[in-house]
Amino acid sequence: MKNYKDTGLYAVVVLFIYLCFFGFVWLFGALNGADWSSWWVGFSWDMVNTKELKQIIGL
């Protein structure tokens, strides 16, 4: 029988470590004057090349 308690605890610990790591990267970047909002690329449906996707899928 699989031990779901340990699996859940592992997932929580890994998530916490990732959040700490990326949180510190963001925090120290902000303290050093990095403007993280300029790095975000807005999504647009024009970015999706539907003709090429149809060729890949075979439609």
What radius of gyration do the chain's Cα atoms show? Answer: 20
Q: Tokens 């925090």 correspond to what residue?
A: 27
- Contact predicate 29/36, CB 8 Å: yes
| pLDDT tens-digit readout, 22-59 | 999 889 988 988 877 777 778 788 888 888 888 888 76
Instruction: Give the residue among 39, 13, 14 at the shortest CA–CA distance from 26.
Output: 39
| pLDDT tens-digit readout, 6-21 | 888 999 999 999 999 9
Query: What's the confidence (pLDDT) of residue 3?
Result: 76
Instruction: Give the residue among 47, 30, 48 at the shortest CA–CA distance from 39.
Output: 30
Domains of the chain by residue range: 4-57
Q: What's at 54, amino acid-wise?
A: K
Pairwise CA distance, residues 37 & 20, whole Å: 20
